[in-house]
Amino acid sequence: MSTMNQEYFARKLAVVHDYFQGPNFDVEHYSKKVMQAFLFFGSDTPDNQNCMEAVHYGSAMLPENPSFVGYGFRLRQKPIFVQDILSVVRLLSIPQPIAGYYPALTEIEWKAALLTAIKMIEAFSPRQSKTRELGWNVASEYFARKLWSVYDSSDFPDFDVVKFNYRIMEAFRQFNHIHPDNKQAYELIEYGQAQLPHWKGVFYGFKIKGKPIRVVELMNELEALPMPDKIAEIFPDLLPNELAALLRMATMIVLAFSPTTHVEPE
């Protein structure tokens, strides 16, 4: 996965708001473009190919409010969005394999990390209503622009990650601020840097505050687990390969805004 392709996928994600606000949002055309960028970024591996075949960028009426149409990454054949799956996973305790690998990870940190991934996905999931403009779209676009802005400066030696963390976490806090766990996640998550194993460089991205546990690592570990019983219960028609495809897209979206640099930390 090249840095150039990573940035390309991130840019294709961010421009959804430009397309959405245009006079005629061609969601099929956008889906084709963003899924191509996804494959350029992730390469032609079996898990990415499975995601390409099972997932697209589409729309569906929101179950909690049928007057709203939600856009985002969902299954091609079923109205299940990526964030739907992660919302169910947040109801569960830390899976044992993940708890064993990250013994310092607490339950509230685990839920905060998942909420961070959900918010990142929802930043590129505008909503449409015939009755009024949605504050959701304003906040999601603002968060999306702030996410994309990491590429404006992260590649420079004087990148001030502390200042960027303040800006991105303020956008995080404002987006979907009514979520009951929003304040807690805001206090537990930071956008920071960490040394990557076997890599003479620096990773930037969302992580547990004060701990070297990256959100993208947790998402990657989640992909390797069998389907939780709770997901099978809530989505009885969901196939294992479809769950794998949704989780792969979640990981890749988080990874898209987690650049690395060859500059050593001080």
Q: What is the per-residue pLDDT for 261?
A: 74
The pLDDT of residue 162? 93
Q: Which pLDDT belongs to residue 154?
A: 66
Spatial distance between the Cα atoms of 172 and 209, rounded to a whole number of angstroms: 15
Q: Edge to edge, what strands does the sheet with 65-75 contain?
A: 55-62, 65-75, 127-129
Q: What is the pLDDT of residue 265?
A: 44
pLDDT score of 132 more than 80: no
Q: What is the pLDDT of residue 176?
A: 75
Give the domain ranges of the chain: 3-261
Asked whether the predicted pLDDT for residue 102 surpasses 70, the reply is yes
Average pLDDT, the chain: 90
Beta strands in 101-213 (DSSP E): 127-129, 189-195, 202-208
Checking if the pLDDT of 129 tops 90, the result is no
Q: What are the pLDDT digits (tens) for 218-243?
A: 999 999 999 999 999 999 999 999 99
Residue 181 predicted with pLDDT over 70? yes
Element (H, E) at 82: helix 82-89
DSSP code at position 81: B
Give tens-digit pLDDT for 14-23. Answer: 999 999 987 7
The stretch 203-208 carries a mean pLDDT of: 93
pLDDT of residue 2: 57
Place of tokens 């979206």: 253
Residue with tokens 């040394």: 195
Rg (CA), the chain: 18
The answer, yes or no, to whether residue 189 has pLDDT greater than 90, is yes
**Percent of the chain scored above 70 by pLDDT?**
91
Model confidence at 144, pLDDT cuts 50, 70, 90, reads very high
